Amino acid sequence: MDISVVVEKIADDGYQATSYVPAHVVAQGQTRQEALDRLSDELRGRLASAEVVTLSVPLLGDSHPWKAIAGSWRASPDRSDIERNLQEYRQQVDADPDRL
């Protein structure tokens, strides 16, 4: 996993490495590489039993993507034919024992 890390030189001639995503972890070392190695060890331990996922959070005012077409077939003269075809197809699928 690639993680963006902020590396800073600190006042006592050492270095500090900080990660923010997927976990906020800070590590220090006398050298830049030592700080990065310590941060890597801390992150590996912290994320060993974790799962990183992407979560989509809809914002207020966002409409559902299907809302624009919801009910568009309600008044269609073909609606009954479409429903009948869907029912027949569903029965075929359900009757086939080899179908997943």
pLDDT tens by residue, 76-91: 888 889 899 999 999 9
State the total domains in the chain: 1
Residue 36 lies inside a defined structural domain of this protein: yes
Q: Which two three-digit tokens encode residue 91?
A: 């029965």
- 92 vs 47, 86, 89, CA distance in Å? 47, 10, 5
Residue 42 lies inside a defined structural domain of this protein: yes
Predicted pLDDT of residue 28:
95
Q: Which two three-digit tokens encode residue 59?
A: 């914002």
Residue 85 lies inside a defined structural domain of this protein: no
Domain that holds residue 42: 5-47
Predicted pLDDT of residue 1:
84
Residue 13 lies inside a defined structural domain of this protein: yes
% pLDDT > 70, the chain: 98
Residue 55 lies inside a defined structural domain of this protein: no
Q: Inform me whether the pLDDT recorded for 74 exceeds 90.
A: no
Asked if residue 43 lies in contact with residue 3, where contact means CB atoms within 8 angstroms, the answer is yes
- Render the burial of 3-19: b for 16+ CB within 10 Å, e for the rest: eebeeeeeeeeebbbbb
Residue 43 lies inside a defined structural domain of this protein: yes
Residue 21 carries which DSSP code? S
Predicted pLDDT of residue 10:
94
Mean pLDDT of 45-73: 82
Residue 18 lies inside a defined structural domain of this protein: yes
Residue 66 lies inside a defined structural domain of this protein: no
